[in-house]
Structure 1
């Protein structure tokens, strides 16, 4: 990683006696010989430990280490990491694809990475490392021979997307949709759109890929993907099967292993980008087949003879309804049980949004629903339907499943703070 060593020297105005860097780390438990450790948050408590492990360099904002020649003391270690990442990115020939949107960022990132990997050397954001800490950390994981970096960009407050775009130096941009995520901070969808669409200011319009059926995104200039005939890339013949979703895009047929209309859209965005970057249909389908999806995204799991669909990484009204609609449309011989839990960051109208989700759930043919969480409990006061069951805890849900629903196909959907995966 010669360019990283070069960047360290230039960023901090000093020549470090380092011949080799294995990787950059922010987790002291993962430090190995020749690693660079950036001590953020409480990482400063482990500096001696990482030096003992053989770290080549430590960056921290603890002045107690100013006399150690293996430690760079800075004013703010997070800002130092951001600056280092920005400078390092400028030395790389890697093309960066930035992905934002209210829902579907992580899955779309996984699909784009899978598609590009059929032809190119590509790296992606690990998990959901998509904020002001995770994004620069991801940039610092890139190697000099990586041809593409597929980078997720999350936000919850105004002004965050421009910061991430500037650090990443994006070449291509993707906006999946505009929904109701983060309304606690962003107040309304207009503000969400204004912030997410900032990505357009950092790339030419021909390098922007967006869901064209979205009422907000349809206003932007770029490559539009969707079901409407006005789009540049038109989805047709969308069908749910036990293998996943089958569909055509501009009259070419594709199969993707994750169910759901939203995943059909996510895959279509990835295909459109792949075609624009010179991949053949065959290379794209090979990439789709090999996609490694981040866990808890409509993940099918059989445990102790019970079939679960774990879609419980996160939730918003849009993704809740999409998950329920998909679950409703997949044909199973068994009855269906949906466990739906609280959504976070919904702002002042949070109970209204929970009522809307319950309303939508009752329009489906799903056999029964178990609700969990204080917000769902308040929303439930407006309903009297025998399909709706409220439980006070996950333990109570487990008991109910073992007693009554072991033969059901069970969907789990709710915000991550509910830890619904503990039920499995």
Structure 2
């Protein structure tokens, strides 16, 4: 069965899934394989739960009624998404970057949804599987689509662009993320810039911050839309407050580092003719979730939970912002940063030196990488050590910053802070 025939089956309901635990009626089940699982083995279960067909690539699981045998399930999923994209009339905005992708995506989405039927990447479905699934979640009713693209090596963004075929693009920043896979900061810049290269090659358009010289340089031959010049930062202690077109926006986002994320959402809203009052309303009502700069008020402690992910660039701005907050009683809990390769030792020591320089009342470094650093403050090699220490030494009346890579799971410490 070729991709056109599979598309006819898909377009009856516009439903696909790769997880039998989430199967919906009349969905197409794609039996993906990974290091520790083989989706082909679950094809019959998917059908029993309501899937109309299961796309498989191992003949022993094939029957002529409910399975479709293909050469490679993942490639078929990607090809189906690519084919679907060609049928969509929706305007697609792609975004990538080292920090702030998800917050930016959500801000753009809430702004554009004030005027358009809009859909965006859910969660962090932003890789070679997530982007196809995102596109296949779009129906012909969508007018705008926001597609987040993540990458940890060269040519990945280029490949994702070949599937999503974006009309517009935006790169949040070039930072110290995934250094191991990209081969250093220059590799990050090269890899992320594949989005701009795609836009240039296909005569599409980039949104850029005119104050970022590197962004200006990388979009030299591209159609560009610059940030609205009327957008001005007023305050960020702790919540970002800004003005645009004589309007004042008071947000639920902390830290001046979120200014650019808000500014591009405003700029995109203006460009697509969303009313100023609607832009203001959308941004003021947006509250971050999922461990991203969440404000949590406990009985005696005020917590900034930013434990969804971390790299040296995001750690630096989070610490600098936290240091500016008014309070003598501050505690920082930092967890290891992953995927730094040979740069891990020097980057962790840099963060330790920076955090130590602020002389917070309490500073805790958690993880094997931080344990190798030199510091005057507390080092704990594992989360369990942190848990034991906090249980024996309760934190009281503190402003607390919690930040670390996803794999550290530092949000668990909330269970032991009152």
Give the TM-score taking structure 1 as reference length. Answer: 0.88
- Select the residue among 16, 21, 27 that pairs with 1:24: 16
RMSD: 2.3
Inter-partner Cα distance in structure 2 for 1:141 and 1:15: 13
Secondary structure, counterpart of 2:131 in structure 1: helix
Distance 1:15 1:38, change over 3 A: closer
The more displaced of 123-132 and 354-363 is 354-363
- Select the residue among 282, 286, 305 that pairs with 1:287: 282
For 1:78-123, what per-residue CA distance to the aligned partner results, in whole angstroms no more than 9, with x for missing partners? 1100000010111011111101011111111111111111111111
Distance 1:180 1:147, change over 3 A: same
1:262 maps to 257
1:371 maps to 365
Distance 1:367 1:249, change over 3 A: farther
Return 5+ residue gaps in structure 2 as ranges. none
1:342 maps to 336
- Select the residue among 49, 52, 58 that pairs with 2:45: 49
- Select the residue among 293, 296, 299 that pairs with 2:291: 296
Distance 1:94 1:194, change over 3 A: same
Inter-partner Cα distance in structure 2 for 1:360 and 1:369: 11
Inter-partner Cα distance in structure 2 for 1:401 and 1:170: 47
2:400 maps to 410
The more displaced of 208-217 and 95-104 is 208-217
Secondary structure, counterpart of 2:372 in structure 1: helix
Which structure 2 residues correspond to residues 322-361 of structure 1 after superposition, within 5 A?
A: 322-332=317-327, 335-361=329-355
- Select the residue among 207, 210, 224 that pairs with 1:209: 207
For 1:159-208, what per-residue CA distance to the aligned partner results, in whole angstroms no more than 9, with x for missing partners? 11111111011011010000111110212222211221121233367731
Matched, 1:191 2:187: yes
How many equivalent pairs are there? 403
Return 5+ residue gaps in structure 1 as ranges. 1-8, 226-231
Distance 1:316 1:250, change over 3 A: farther
For 1:203-222, what per-residue CA distance to the aligned partner results, in whole angstroms no more than 9, with x for missing partners? 36773113444442231333
- Select the residue among 154, 157, 160 that pairs with 1:161: 157
Inter-partner Cα distance in structure 1 for 2:313 and 2:270: 28
- 1:328–1:365 CA contact under 8 A, matched in 2: no
Secondary structure, counterpart of 1:203 in structure 2: helix
For 1:362-420, what per-residue CA distance to the aligned partner results, in whole angstroms no more than 9, with x for missing partners? 333532210011111112x2x3x3xx211233233234334241321221111111111
2:82 maps to 86
Which structure 2 residues correspond to residues 52-131 of structure 1 after superposition, within 5 A?
A: 52-131=48-127
Give the TM-score taking structure 2 as reference length. Answer: 0.90
Inter-partner Cα distance in structure 2 for 1:14 and 1:43: 18
Query: How far did residue 315 of structure 1 move?
Result: 0.8
Distance 1:264 1:78, change over 3 A: same
